[in-house]
Amino acid sequence: MLNNNDEQTPQDENTRGVVRLADLLLEHLRRLGVDYVFGVPGGAIEPLFDALARSERAGGLRVVVARHESGAASMADGYARETGKLGVCCATTGPGTTNLITGVASAYTDNTPMLVISAQTALPQFGRGALQESSCTAIDTVAMLQHCTVYNTLVSHRDQLEPKLISAVMAACRPPGGPAHLSIPRDVLGSAARDRVPKADLTALIRAPELVDQAALDELCGMVSKAGRVAILVGGDAGVAIDKIIAFADLIGADLIATPQGKTWVDAYHPRFHGVFGFAGHGSARALLVDQDLDWVLAVGTTLDEFATGGWDEEALLNPRLLHIEASPERFARSPMARLHVCGSLPRIFDTLVDRARQACKEGRLYKRQGEAVELPVDVGRCGPNRLELNGSGGNSSGAGPVPVPRLLCELTRRLSEDTRFVVDAGNSFVWTTHYLNTRRPGRYRVAMGFGAMAWAPAAAVGTALGYPQAPVVCVTGDGSYLMGGQELSVAVAEDLPVLFVVLNDRALGMVKHGQRLGGAEPVAYELPAVDFAAMARAVGARASVIHSRDDLARLDLESFGPGNGPMLLDVRVDPEAVPPMDLRVRTLSGA
């Protein structure tokens, strides 16, 4: 039972400098370098918002109010990916928390470190039918979040908050990482803290030890040193060591390919990059993998899911030429056929590989593949590096007619800053960009296709821009996805963020439509009504244009778009009959 003398939260006590548990929680987050909490207010979560108001007045972290709780989770996801810090989102009890679930599940699938804070009605009200009650005796939101979080608990007493917060943040930040959930009743969240400052240093506790399976690493070094031809498959989690991976590839003359999630880490114009392998990938990448002269494939930081393996392609990837390198041994369950599994810190593994390769080069013990490492001239009209095998040329050359999506993507990368971040939604947007969007700097391309949640990108783009407002952020989304989550544009307006929302408007759920046609299914439930997305954007205060043709696109002053301009939306009327390179997904669904 709560002690009525020191646990209640009369409003006048806030003026006497009482430190609440909500204040203590925010102080922990401030010390971790967190800048924002993304959420939607409500009655049960009000003590946290009170604390956020006090924090902002003191120059500390502040709240960013989303338009939907799932959007808040995706904003936290985008912020965490951009900054490398912990993403934090919050929601009130009942429907506030259930609205979070899709965004949290997406972050869980992609191992994004997040702290999810939900509220509960006051403890004495549990089981009594309070408004929006979501305790274990009602709509049990803690149970709902159990299977999409790495840590999940109810804080039922004020003395539990700090130790459970420590456990949550450690679980969220250590490999493989993901969202951790604390559900806190209103009276506990608003109760007086026993200590005015945190007891623990979370920064030290989340520092992951750089452990490595040394025997496996030694064996890997030996195998690579004797190999004639090696390919490195860069996965989505390889970013922590990408500079070392590229250095190692250059040392030994290894070829590079990437998974759809990992393409963000590789310069598309690297002289040994053969493109994306897997869903919506390039024929040149698969041709490399099936080349009989290839000795080993080093798969680094990849979940080896459907998209990353080309629908579990045994001929190209899932065979004994595979050497799987991971920080999380759980992923080895998907590669039992691999010749070798190396578990440990990716930066440390590749530090060792680079050092051993340099030494072997000096001693003449390393076979380095020669030739074919020539930077080829870039053909701008082709919309991609010459080494990549693309589906088609990128579209028509005339200024009239709908803008071909490949040409649109080419124009965006050519005319915007190289520092631009591209945040891409599920559906056709992901398919087109996987194949045709080519960036030069690592980490500039973001997708969330582990869970494949539509409407992730508009909110994640807002979080990305808040994490790094010095560069433009481009959100590529479809009309179907935007109708689910486009209200987050108004957050970009309120925060004056340099986000360019690009809506591929084909009046359809495009991936559904083309999937039905390619798979021979009934043509049903894919049509969308005509929508003027530019008018919708202007209604909430954003600049907007409708793009009917390449001439319209050419007239836009994209080169000056960036910080200080605020958000803008392009309603791009694309050819509804243009088929994205999605045949692999159709074959997987049909069981072929």
- 69-101 pLDDT, tens digit each: 999 999 999 999 999 999 999 999 999 999 999
Average pLDDT of the residues of the chain: 90
**Superfamily (CATH H level) for 11-205:** Thiamin diphosphate (ThDP)-binding fold, Pyr/PP domains (3.40.50.970)
Nearest in space to 232 (alpha carbons), one of 264, 280, 282, 277: 277
Do the domains 214-363 and 11-205 match in fold?
A: yes
Q: What is the pTM of this model?
A: 0.92
Distance CA 216, CA 240 (A): 20
- 285-339 pLDDT, tens digit each: 999 999 999 999 999 999 999 999 999 999 999 999 999 999 989 999 999 999 9
Residues whose CB is less than 8 angstroms from the CB of residue 556 and which lie 6 or more positions away in sequence, other chains included? 545, 547, 570
pLDDT value of position 310: 92
First to last CA, the chain: 60
pLDDT value of position 337: 97
Tell whether the model's pLDDT for residue 579 goes beyond 70.
Answer: yes
Query: Strands 473-478 and 499-505: what pairing?
Result: parallel
Identify the helix (H) or strand (E) that includes residue 72: helix 69-83
pLDDT value of position 589: 52
Percent of the chain with pLDDT over 70: 91
- 179-211 pLDDT, tens digit each: 999 999 999 999 998 888 888 888 888 887 889
Query: When comparing pLDDT for 127 and 428, which is higher?
Result: 428
Q: Which range has the worst mean pLDDT, 416-420, 520-524, 533-537?
A: 520-524
Q: Which range has the worst mean pLDDT, 215-229, 246-260, 375-389?
A: 375-389
Domain 214-363 top-level CATH class = alpha beta
**Superfamily (CATH H level) for 392-590:** Thiamin diphosphate (ThDP)-binding fold, Pyr/PP domains (3.40.50.970)
89 and 96 in contact (C-beta within 8 Å)? Answer: no
pLDDT value of position 13: 43
- 435-451 pLDDT, tens digit each: 999 999 999 999 999 89
- 3-31 pLDDT, tens digit each: 333 444 433 344 457 889 999 999 999 99
Which residues are paired to 117 by β-bridges?
90, 182
Where are the domains positioned within the chain? Answer: 11-205, 214-363, 392-590
Tokens of 567: 């958000």
Kindly tell me the burial class for residue 256, based on how many C-beta atoms sit within 10 Å of its own C-beta (0-12, 13-18, 19 or more).
buried
Q: Would you place residue 512 in the very low, low, confident or very high pLDDT band (cuts 50, 70, 90)?
A: confident
Tell whether the model's pLDDT for residue 361 goes beyond 50.
Answer: yes
pLDDT value of position 105: 98
pLDDT value of position 392: 65
Q: Would you place residue 419 in the very low, low, confident or very high pLDDT band (cuts 50, 70, 90)?
A: very high
- 112-152 pLDDT, tens digit each: 999 999 999 988 888 888 788 888 888 999 999 999 999 99
Distance CA 143, CA 116 (A): 14
- 218-227 pLDDT, tens digit each: 999 999 988 8
249 and 256 in contact (C-beta within 8 Å)? Answer: yes
Angle between helices 405-415 and 428-436 (to 10 degrees): 60
Tell whether the model's pLDDT for residue 553 goes beyond 90.
Answer: yes
Distance CA 223, CA 204 (A): 37
One-letter amino acid for residue 350 of the chain: F
Nearest in space to 73 (alpha carbons), one of 450, 453, 479, 475: 453
Q: Would you place residue 61 in the very low, low, confident or very high pLDDT band (cuts 50, 70, 90)?
A: very high
> What values do phi and psi take at 163, rounded to 5?
-65, -35
pLDDT value of position 128: 81
Nearest in space to 501 (alpha carbons), one of 479, 469, 521: 479
pLDDT value of position 5: 37
